[in-house]
């Protein structure tokens, strides 16, 4: 976060995703999207990746703009 300049966010080593995480990518992205729609009535863009597991970052696409992440 120290390098964050307010212009979106990308995952370091995001292009190299752990094999297990990659195998469940679709399932995780769908679950995250559904969760934010159901709980917060908010559509999000999911950024997925991590060389040693799965880190899921979400960026809201609506008027209220925010970022959130969870390491899995």
The residues spanned by each domain of the chain are 19-71
H or E element that contains 18: none
Distance separating alpha carbons of residues 50 and 46, to the nearest angstrom: 13
Tokens of 12: 């370091």
Does 2 have pLDDT greater than 60? no
Residues 55-72, mean pLDDT to the nearest whole number = 80
State pLDDT tens for residues 31-53: 989 998 999 888 888 877 777 77
């Amino acid at each position: 976060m120290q390098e964050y300049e307010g212009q979106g966010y990308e995952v370091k080593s995001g292009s190299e995703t752990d094999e297990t995480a990659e195998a469940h990518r679709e399932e995780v992205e769908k679950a995250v999207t559904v969760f934010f729609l159901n709980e917060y009535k908010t559509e999000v863009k999911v950024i997925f990746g991590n060389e040693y597991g799965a880190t899921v970052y979400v960026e809201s696409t609506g008027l209220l703009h925010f970022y959130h992440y969870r390491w899995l």
